[in-house]
Amino acid sequence: MTIFADAAIERFVLDSRVAGPPLSVAQLRQGSRDRAHLRPKGPAMPARDEVAGGVAVRVFEQESKTRLVYLHGGGFVLGGLDTHDALCRRIAAATRTTVVAVDYRLAPEHPYPAAVDDALAVIDWAAGLGPVAVGGDSAGAFVAVLAARRSPAPLTAQILLCPLLDVTFDQPSAEEFGSGFTLDMPAHRDWVAAWAGEAHAVPNPLLFDLDGMPPALIVAAELDPLRDSATRYAARLADHGIDATYRVEPGMVHNFSTIVHLSAAAAAADARFLTDTVALIR
């Protein structure tokens, strides 16, 4: 029996099961932006759009010398600066750390490694200004981990929220929660295939050498098809002697941070994520 974190999460899941007509990538992207505009805005703070290392970014300025380079989720196909503006503001306000949100190139127009190359360009730019951490949610977390592995600059932390950490989806949770729990795996597999092409060409964080990777915060959701890849990645970090704080939020669904205005349980889970981020990044 599935136990949801609260009644609002259950309603959100049930609403997500209502099927609509197939949509184009352009329509999906517009829908993602439209939903973001309906959510409450994040904390007020100085923010500016600029170009860093040749990549469009949005900088949420805070007093800390550390910069968190943040990669948004969206299955490598959706998402952008506007869809994750509120989350980046919450992270910046909680940590007092300047967050640099990256508008990396998306599939299918720009397959792997375009997103990782963009992340590395921004990390290199930020490293010229002070200490750098990297983070992301969902597919953005995958980009963050690959960028951390390739980065010549030392990184202070990796902050991963509901992360996708294996594009093969070869875990039990992908089967158990892959339909009817907000993240539809058949569609998601298509998006990932558009980005990754032949999956074996993309480095797998569950297999590659983790030596030298920075300390991690990994927060997963119990009812998320991506949960088990997060569990395995956290275990691998521990095996390599890398400090990793790992937690699974019970009764929670993928990317609960987008529904903090609908669910008290999601808001509480988001607050725990922010508290743990503060502990690691400062």
Catalytic center residues? 138, 224, 261
* Nearest CA among 262, 230, 76 for reference residue 160: 230
Helix/strand/coil for 221: strand
* Nearest CA among 70, 74, 44 for reference residue 255: 74
| Alpha carbon of residue 118 to chain centroid | 16
DSSP per residue, 42-107: -----EEEEEETTEEEEEE--S-S-EEEEE--STTTS--TTTTHHHHHHHHHHHT-EEEEE----T
φ, ψ of residue 158 to 5 degrees: the values are -125, 125
* Nearest CA among 142, 61, 151 for reference residue 99: 61
